[in-house]
Each structure stands twice: as structure tokens, then as C-alpha cells.
Amino acid sequence: MLVPKVQLIPSSEQVTDLLRETGALREGHFEFPTGQHTGHYFQMPLAMRYHGNARVLNVALSRLLRREPEVLAALPKCAIVAPAAGGIPVAFGVREALNADQIFWAEKDEGRYHFRQYLDAKGLKCILVDDLVRSGKVITSMIDVIQKAGAEVVAIGSLVHFKDAHFDAGNVPYYALLEVEARFYQPAECPLCKTGQPFEKVWA
């Protein structure tokens, strides 16, 4: 564990070091299934394997979310909601730190996110969390799914946010623990290809 006091919000450098040490962040030359190239590859579940690390990250994100008056007003009758597998360990950690009273998550079927059929979320205030926001597409579809369930998103939080991700969250405040400048290139424009560095194929 890199950060001795979980009471503090770790710096970007400390979060980056933690992700690097656990293998959750790799730097090099990577090709995604889309054919795009990048110099950074994130596998957040590798950081969340260790309880101590997961706790540091989740507590820090919770401290950011606590800055939001709407979050404080909604607690404890509030749900922490995750899109799918990657966000679930974040939801459990944030719930514990914020003392919110429930957690639920969506499941992806035929390219769309759904909640369990008999979930009653009408009128519920929700904090939407995920491990990593790369394009923002998952967040925007989750806002839609939550609103269609009759619930309200009061805040959004993620451990990592790619600065290039522009998404429309309306007036909902968004907090990220680590802002990352990770560029994606078509191979023809990839600066790493130009240096002749071999690339590694990865899955999203």
C-alpha cells in the first residue's frame, strides 16, 4: 500500500504509482481491437485485486464525492450504481465509505445495459460509479437506464477519466480520482509506430 493514511486524497502521482505497481497501468505501445494505437493500457481490476489498494482508491473517490452537497443531502438513503463488472468493486468500496444503503448494477445484454427486471428504483437517488471512463458512452447510457427506471443520478464518480472523454451528463457533477491524457491514434498517425517500436495487441 503506497498511501499510509487513507484519510487523505492521494495525489495523481500516488494513484499512478499504485496503478503501475499492480499492473493496472502499463505503458508501452498497444493496439486495441478497434485498430487504434495508444501508449497507455489500463486494466483496473488488477489494482482492485488487493483489498488495501481498492480501499485507498475507493475511499479517495468517496472523499471527492462528499464535496457534492447533493450527495450529502441524499445520504444515507442512496444507491451506489455501477454499469457492470469493472464498476462493482468501486460501488462496494464507495458504499462503505459513504455509508449509503444500497448497491446495484446493470448487466449488458445485446449491446444494451439493463437492470434486473424487478428492481424497484423509483424515486431513488443514485451515485453512478465506474472504474474507468474512456469515451463516456457507458456513462451516458447508464444515466439513461437509471432515469428510465424512475431514479435520479445525483453524482458520477470514476477512479480514472480519460481527458478526451467528452460526455453529456447534463448538470450532474462528475468527479474522477485520476485524469489521464491518453491519446488514441490510427496506426498511420501513431507516433510510437514512427519510432519503430513493436506494438502489443490487447483487448479492451
Binding site for Zn ion (CB under 5 A): 37, 190, 192-193
Closer CB to Zn ion, residue 37 or residue 125? 37
Three cell numbers at 194? 514512427
Query: Smallest distance, Å, CB 135 to Zn ion?
Result: 19
Q: With b meaning 16 or more CB within 10 Å and e meaning fewer, what string describes 139-166?
A: bebbbebbeebebebbbbbbbbbbeebe
Closer CB to Zn ion, residue 113 or residue 185? 185
Query: Smallest distance, Å, CB 29 to Zn ion?
Result: 5
Classify 137 in phi/psi space as left (phi over 0), alpha (psi -120 to 50) or beta: alpha
Closer CB to Zn ion, residue 120 or residue 189? 189
Bridge partners, residue 180, by sequence: 162
Closer CB to Zn ion, residue 193 or residue 202? 193
* 3-state class (DSSP) for residue 69: helix
Q: Cell numbers 473517490 correspond to what residue? A: 61
Q: Which residue is nearest to Zn ion, using beta carbons? A: 190
Three cell numbers at 188? 498511420
